[in-house]
Amino acid sequence: MSETLFTKIIEREIPADIVYEDEQCLAFRDINPKAPMHILVIPKKVIPKLVDAVPEDDALLGHLMIVAAQVASDQGYSDAFRLVVNNGAAVGQSVFHLHLHILGGRDFMWPPG
Ligand code: DGP
């Protein structure tokens, strides 16, 4: 597994406020929250960007979505959360280890900015 900032969180080499973990993924609070709830769901497998996912990742990507919904529900936001995936530096991706942002607890614009 190539090393990323997030693999260091998986390996507990750097601390994080972890809210969920299983064999395939980890969820932890964003260090720079953009909403009252801002949690990241990451696969333990390093996929740098969504566009790097391959067909064999189908089940893993589905699992991330299921976990994101469960985490949002567990946090009390089952009816009002947003998922965001930034793919590429040009749209704001800064950590090149696929992650789903789960955001909730404030108003959100549509279309997103
Ligand atoms: P993105 O810009 O989509 O690549 O999102 C990366 C997110 O990762 C950003 O919202 C801040 C968060 N982040 C960066 N470094 C750390 C860290 O060391 N710990 C935690 N918990 N979050 C981090």
- Is 52 among the domain residues? yes
Q: What is the pLDDT of residue 94?
A: 97
pTM score, two decimals? 0.97
Q: Rounded distance, CA 68 to CA 28, Å? A: 11
- Is 111 among the domain residues? no
pLDDT band at 2 (very low <50, low <70, confident <90, very high): confident
Q: Which is catalytic among the residues 38, 97, 99, 101?
A: 99
Domain that holds residue 32: 5-104
Instruction: Please state the length of the chain.
Output: 113
Q: pLDDT tens-digit profile of 36-85?
A: 999 999 999 999 999 999 999 999 999 999 999 999 999 999 999 999 99
- Is 32 among the domain residues? yes
Question: In 10 A of CB 93, how many CB atoms?
Answer: 17
Q: Rounded distance, CA 89 to CA 72, Å? A: 26
Q: Which atom of ligand 1 is nearest to the CA of 28?
A: 21
- Is 24 among the domain residues? yes
* Ligand 1 binding pocket mutation candidate from 7, 32, 38, 51 (most atoms within 8 A of CB): 32
The CATH number assigned to the domain holding 55 equals: 3.30.428.10
53, 61 in Cβ contact below 8 A?
yes
Phi, psi (degrees; rounded to nearest 5) at 65: -65, -45
Q: Confirm or reject: Cβ of 4 under 6 Å from ligand 1.
A: no
Domain count, the chain: 1
